[in-house]
Amino acid sequence: MQKKQVNTKVLSGFIELLPQEQILFDNIKKIVEKSYKSAGYVTIDTPVIEKSEVLFAKAGGDTEKQVYRFTKGDNDLSLRFDLTVPFARYVSEHYNDLVFPFKRYHIAKVYRGERPQKGRYREFYQADIDIVAENELSVMYDVDIISTLAKTIEKLATSCTLGNFKMRISNRKIWDGFFEYFNISGEQKAQIINIIDKKPKITQEDFTSSLAERVKNPQIEKLIMELFELDYIPNVGISIPEKYHSDFVFIQENDKMKLGIKELETVIKSLKSLKSMPEDRFVVDLSIVRGLDYYTGTVFETFLEKYPEFGSISSGGRYENLCDNYTDRNICGVGGSIGISRTFVPLIEDKKIENKWGGLVDILVLPQNENCYAKAIEVRNEIVDYMEGICKTSIIFENKKFKKMMEYANKVGAKYVVIIGEDEVANNTVTVKDMESGGQQTLSISDAKIIFKNLQKILK
Amino acid sequence: MQKKQVNTKVLSGFIELLPQEQILFDNIKKIVEKSYKSAGYVTIDTPVIEKSEVLFAKAGGDTEKQVYRFTKGDNDLSLRFDLTVPFARYVSEHYNDLVFPFKRYHIAKVYRGERPQKGRYREFYQADIDIVAENELSVMYDVDIISTLAKTIEKLATSCTLGNFKMRISNRKIWDGFFEYFNISGEQKAQIINIIDKKPKITQEDFTSSLAERVKNPQIEKLIMELFELDYIPNVGISIPEKYHSDFVFIQENDKMKLGIKELETVIKSLKSLKSMPEDRFVVDLSIVRGLDYYTGTVFETFLEKYPEFGSISSGGRYENLCDNYTDRNICGVGGSIGISRTFVPLIEDKKIENKWGGLVDILVLPQNENCYAKAIEVRNEIVDYMEGICKTSIIFENKKFKKMMEYANKVGAKYVVIIGEDEVANNTVTVKDMESGGQQTLSISDAKIIFKNLQKILK
């Protein structure tokens, strides 16, 4: 048996879940979608394939190497590597048909030919939200993005017992203003930002020595170390510890730093005042910089206390000139993303998520012989209509022993089996077996529905 | 303005909807998903990219030309052109982890480099259901597949005012047995089946002349014409008009034809007896053959009376040896598909579907100045939680005149605007404006919720 002509294993780095696992992932995806949608984000569905000239208008060398690129006819095509570049193209193309501020979500697969490793996939789902407008957009939309992501992750955390999480927030204008003031730019700035980005992942010692090596100025190095202590003080706002105040008088002459601090203050204050969320979920952290060029204001990352090894599970920030390769309009915006495949596929594969969403089948209808088939189909249809899509009601037609059928019911995880025999057909009844207790009772279909009503609460 | 460096138009033959249109398509997709799931089908999510050797193990010449095929590193890869071949690979690979009969649905994009034309796309959604098992599978599962598709299309027809539809059903064993009996095979059989497939689309005259040309035997030609009159007679079953009975005594010696007629009878009888559906929805039609090799029993196609130009919007049938390129196990099954992009994208683009699912935003929260932002966010969050994901509640932060804000509310299709001014903050109230009537009232948030409750019924 099983002499295979072709290897049927899924491609290396690609995800393929078993049906029981897929139920978990799909419900996780649905929680995210429902949350984004409820918060007033609307979805778009752009093609997986884009013209290469569209994708590579902005992308750098490393991304380009990872892209699945090919020709078909005369067309130079590529599979999208993120959802942001297609979004920029979409906004540019449909500008006149969109209402701004435009709030969109997009939960879809993206493709990167990375070296496969646990939690890094070549095809994976991103779950993005963005708000864009022309020329200007209130910093309050940064609050909208972060609070929507926080509420979404909170729902996921509850459903998947992820435990506590923290969103670490900064503002790129603070560092950009700081480096401008001290005439640090180009490769040196890039190297310093790069080591700031690494700060949480390396030892304090390694950090200070790497920083010294790159800054080459003990005074500036000292100021950088002091800036990390910038924090939000209730009733005061974002400030540096008083002992450093004399070091930072120059901020008064630095509009960019001042604006960055003001924006960060607005964002943190608004987030901390949200009654529905614990205040300590939102933390000021100047080591959050998120790469070199793209972000121009608010930046944030999200960490699970229970799974620090995942790194940031949700990140994003404020940007300018989203569409500058496609249009001369200045489209600015703020956005964020939850890496749902990267976070949840490893948890599902390691069986760390409990299934609250039922088995492959919730109610299994079991006609006992051919004379009961018609009745059984009617009963199944009636249960489906009654349950309004909340539970999975299947039916099987097998000439096998009752014990075999019970084994099947157990394997698919059925909560109830509805037995339709010739007596049930004659008396217009059904026999309902509770698979957990093992008890069974014969009753009218309307009385059976009262039993199934319980499933609505469990599976909702 | 709008000097574009790169052409942002979507690739020819690819679909890109505006947000208002996307809401329609997504709700249509959701109706299908909910219906499949309720009927006990579970989903799988295979990669869009497959090894070419997997996809081309079975595919013929025409399909091969249309496939998006490319190399990445040492891998010869292709984008899937349907959901059946990946399903066959999945079943072969995960055989030991699946419970049979295995009922799966898969609603996802497939790729074909066809010449683009209205209703034919290069990237489109298929919505498949299949039931598979090893060695044997009751013909009642054919009933399950067809009735599940019928119930699903009925829901779509109601939501999208598609009008009446008919499912035309046949059984390939009848023709296969017939041709075997008369020693018609190979190219001749292929040509005859091909012209039978075309029968509904050409004139009676063209059909009879083409048939004569291919059959080259007036006696057999006469029998073929008579066989088209095979029909289901209540209380009798599938039969040929009495006047032809003497022509068909040979059926008694033809097991394949006999079995085909018996299967067709079981399927049609069971479908017609479903109380929840009109009897005349299901019709025997021997001109339904669906290609040459794949199907081995029940075959069906579905037509909208209002839109005959769409051809069949849902087709499928019974097959053997699904996995014979991947495993020596005999996996047989029955399946069907709804072409949701091909059917609904043209209807959406031609504005033939009414939107019953609300605008881009249903409830718009509108803080009047910065002092009202915190309160407004809380109110938005409270509405979101209360409405449990049924409506879209957005918030905007703009320093624009009230009239401008009302224009925005109209453009996004808001049903209610919730105004939060300084009075509302001070008194812990909200002002709710009904965008349809224009009336507005100031009330407590709990009283406002009673108003919003109505949306639950409309948008559900």
Q: What is the pLDDT of residues B346-386, one digit of tens each?
A: 999 999 999 989 899 999 999 999 999 989 999 999 999 99
Using a CB-CB cut-off of 8 Å, the residues of chain B touching A103 are 394
Interface test with A, best of B28, B42, B456 (most A CBs within 10 A): B42
Interface test with A, best of B10, B269, B362, B380 (most A CBs within 10 A): B10
pLDDT at B329 over 70: yes
Name the pLDDT band for A460 (thresholds 50, 70, 90).
low
Alpha-carbon distance values, B360 to A101, A104, B14, B57 (Å): 12, 10, 23, 45
Average pLDDT in the B419-443 region?
Answer: 96
CB contact under 8 A, B97 and A18: yes
Alpha-carbon distance values, B417 to A120, B167, B361, B387, B431 (Å): 43, 46, 10, 15, 8
Exposed/middle/buried for residue A357 (C-beta within 10 Å: 0-12, 13-18, 19+): middle
Give me the total of CB pairs closer than 8 Å, taking one residue from chain A and one from chain B. Answer: 290
Task: Report the half-sphere exposure of A119 (CA within 13 A, side-chain side).
Answer: 13
CB contact under 8 A, B392 and A328: no
Tell me which of B6 and A63 has the higher pLDDT: B6
CB contact under 8 A, A38 and B2: no
Express each pLDDT in A398-420 by its tens digit: 888 889 999 999 999 999 999 99
A380 contact partners, CB below 8 Å, separation of at least 6: A365, A393, A394, A395, B39
Three-class HEC string of chain B:
CCCCCCCCCCCCCCCCCCHHHHHHHHHHHHHHHHHHHHCCCEECCCCCEEEHHHHCCCCCHHHHHHCCEEEECCEEEEECCCCHHHHHHHHHHCHHHCCCCEEEEEEEEEECCCCCECCECCEEEEEEEEEEEECCCCCHHHHHHHHHHHHHHHHHHHHCCCCCEEEEEEEHHHHHHHHHHCCCCHHHHHHHHHHHHHHHHCCHHHHHHHHHHHHCCHHHHHHHHHHCCCEEECCCEEECCHHHHHHHHHHHHCHHHHHHHHHHHHHHHHHHCCCCCCHHHEEECCCCCCCCCCEEEEEEEEEECCCHHHCCCEEEEEECCCCCCCCCCCEEEEEEEECHHHHHHHHHHCCCCCCCCCCCCCEEEEECCHHHHHHHHHHHHHHHHHHCCCCCEEECCCCCCHHHHHHHHHHCCCCEEEEECHHHHHHCCEEEEECCCCCEEEECHHHHHHHHHHHHHHHC
Name the pLDDT band for B415 (thresholds 50, 70, 90).
very high
Q: If you measure CA to CA, which chain A residue comes closest to B13?
A: A47
Using a CB-CB cut-off of 8 Å, the residues of chain B touching A68 are 49, 70, 72, 77
Strands of A430-434's sheet in order across: A393-395, A363-367, A416-420, A430-434, A440-443
Name the pLDDT band for B390 (thresholds 50, 70, 90).
confident
pLDDT cut 70: percent of chain A above it: 97
């005149």: which residue's tokens? Answer: B401
CB contact under 8 A, A360 and B15: no
Side chain identity at residue A372, one-letter code: C
pLDDT at B292 over 80: no
Using a CB-CB cut-off of 8 Å, the residues of chain B touching A142 are none
Q: How far is A199 from A211, CA to CA, in rounded Å?
A: 10
Closest to B121 in 3D by CA, of B10, B6, B19: B10
Q: If you measure CA to CA, which chain A residue comes closest to B52?
A: A6
CB contact under 8 A, B92 and A8: yes
Express each pLDDT in A316-361 by its tens digit: 999 998 998 899 999 999 999 999 999 999 999 999 999 989 899 9
Task: Report the half-sphere exposure of A410 (CA within 13 A, side-chain side).
Answer: 9
pLDDT at A2 over 50: no
Express each pLDDT in B13-54 by its tens digit: 999 999 999 999 999 999 999 999 999 999 999 999 999 999
pLDDT at A156 over 90: yes
Using a CB-CB cut-off of 8 Å, the residues of chain B touching A331 are none
CB contact under 8 A, A377 and B3: no
Using a CB-CB cut-off of 8 Å, the residues of chain B touching A17 are 44-45
Interface test with B, best of A7, A10, A76 (most B CBs within 10 A): A10
ipTM of the prediction: 0.95
Interface test with A, best of B394, B398, B425, B445 (most A CBs within 10 A): B394
Q: What is the mean pLDDT of chain A?
A: 93
Using a CB-CB cut-off of 8 Å, the residues of chain B touching A274 are 377-378, 381
Closest to A361 in 3D by CA, of A401, A404, A408: A408
pLDDT at B59 over 50: yes
Interface test with A, best of B4, B27, B38 (most A CBs within 10 A): B38
CB contact under 8 A, A103 and B16: no
Of A11, A93, A385, the CB nearest to B8: A93
CB atoms within 10 A of CB A386: 17
Show the domains of chain B with their CATH numbers.
19-349 (3.30.930.10), 363-459 (3.40.50.800)
Alpha-carbon distance values, A360 to A401, A415, B37, B102, B337 (Å): 21, 10, 10, 10, 21
Of B39, B49, B109, the CB nearest to A384: B39
pLDDT at position A116 is 72
pLDDT at B424 over 90: yes
Q: Is the bond preceding B234 in cis, omega lying within 30 degrees of 0? A: no
Strand partners, A263: none
Q: How far is A106 from B334, CA to CA, in rounded Å?
A: 34
Min mean pLDDT across A108-122, A140-154, A423-437, B126-140 is at A108-122
Average pLDDT in the A230-245 region?
Answer: 93
Using a CB-CB cut-off of 8 Å, the residues of chain B touching A102 are 19
Tell me which of A433 and A2 has the higher pLDDT: A433
Measure the N-to-C terminal CA separation of chain B; round to a whole number of Å: 42
Using a CB-CB cut-off of 8 Å, the residues of chain A touching B65 are none
Q: If you measure CA to CA, which chain A residue comes closest to B16?
A: A46
pLDDT at position A256 is 97
pLDDT at B3 over 60: no
CB contact under 8 A, A38 and B89: no
Q: What are phi and psi of A450, to 5 degrees?
A: -65, -40
Structure tokens that stand for B424 in this block: 């509302």
pLDDT cut 90: percent of chain A above it: 85
Using a CB-CB cut-off of 8 Å, the residues of chain A touching B95 are 2
Name the pLDDT band for B454 (thresholds 50, 70, 90).
confident
CB atoms within 10 A of CB A93: 21
Of B328, B374, B393, the CB nearest to A40: B393
pLDDT at B121 over 80: yes
Strand partners, B159: none
Distance from CA of B399 to the nearest CA of A (A): 9
CB atoms within 10 A of CB A351: 10
CB contact under 8 A, A99 and B360: yes
Q: How far is A412 from A389, CA to CA, in rounded Å?
A: 18
Q: How far is A411 from B202, CA to CA, in rounded Å?
A: 50
Of A42, A53, A361, the CB nearest to B6: A53
CB contact under 8 A, A11 and B50: yes
Distance from CA of B416 to the nearest CA of A (A): 13
Using a CB-CB cut-off of 8 Å, the residues of chain A touching B103 are 394
Q: How far is B422 from B352, CA to CA, in rounded Å?
A: 44
Q: If you measure CA to CA, which chain A residue comes closest to B133?
A: A398
pLDDT at B57 over 50: yes
Q: If you measure CA to CA, which chain A residue comes closest to B388?
A: A38
Asked whether B339 and B126 are in contact (CB, 8 A), the reply is yes
Q: What secondary structure does DSSP assign to A252-288, as a single string?
A: GG-HHHHHHHHHHHHHHHHHHT-TTS-GGGEEE-TT-
Distance from CA of B53 to the nearest CA of A (A): 7
Interface test with B, best of A21, A37, A38 (most B CBs within 10 A): A38
Express each pLDDT in A278-327 by its tens digit: 989 999 999 999 876 789 999 999 999 999 999 999 999 999 989 988 99
Distance from CA of A37 to the nearest CA of B (A): 6
pTM listed for this prediction: 0.95
Name the pLDDT band for A61 (thresholds 50, 70, 90).
low
Asked whether B96 and A2 are in contact (CB, 8 A), the reply is no
CB contact under 8 A, B377 and A2: no
Sign of the CA dihedral running B328, B329, B330, B333: negative
pLDDT cut 70: percent of chain B above it: 97
pLDDT cut 90: percent of chain B above it: 85
